[in-house]
Structure 1
């Protein structure tokens, strides 16, 4: 299954150099949050973008992630106040698990 993550283009560029991605969400790291936020589909991703990334000036990219290439668990969880489950990646995201990177325009 493919899941999606919205990333700052600069964070993704840094991850490519490092070999893994460790940003949970806008302004929060994997170490701070405990997991990397992801979306099950483009509809969820657009909702997240509208709620949290509307004022971001830096270019954004969508990371398409092949769950089978991850070396850590992905857990579907319903965040507090949300009415739907989101996939959470409980570990670093290897660059090799990202099968497509697409520019995102809200």
Structure 2
């Protein structure tokens, strides 16, 4: 069974928005995050559906892998789509919690191509 110490959570966002976060030293969230009052993340198992539902056909995206243990009590797993528990961060994302940043390109079929280590 996975624990919070051996999993990653992920954020899909426009590459330009992530570059702003890198310049600022903190990720403040995307417009949808601001509207909802928390930063939306997905687990590895939720990533493909999140990309399909919310980022279909979008190019120039970045996939950010985060260590959830580094976020403390501000991170909550809450019910969302179909009762599935999604990670939500009530606060800003410190870049010290980021473990990997990778491009999230579109494949020839129009679906996003995820790094091999994402199940």
TM normalised by structure 2 equals 0.74
Name which of 3, 17, 20 aligns with 1:14.
20
Deviation at 1:36, TM superposition (A): 0.5
Give distance in 1, aligned partners of 2:84 and 2:33.
23
Give distance in 2, aligned partners of 1:71 and 1:18.
21
Does the 8 A contact of 2:9 with 2:67 survive in 1?
Answer: yes
Give distance in 2, aligned partners of 1:86 and 1:70.
15
Deviation at 1:35, TM superposition (A): 0.6
TM normalised by structure 1 equals 0.83
Deviation at 1:61, TM superposition (A): 1.2
Which is richer in strand?
1
Output aligned runs, 1:47-86, within 5 Å. Answer: 47-57=49-59, 59-70=60-71, 72-79=73-80, 81-86=81-86
Larger radius of gyration: 2
Backbone CA RMSD of aligned residues: 1.7
> How many residue pairs were aligned?
100
Q: 1:29 to 1:87 in 2, by over 3 A?
A: closer
Deviant stretches of 4+, over 3 Å: none
Give distance in 1, aligned partners of 2:26 and 2:73.
13
Which is richer in helix?
2
Give distance in 2, aligned partners of 1:33 and 1:22.
13
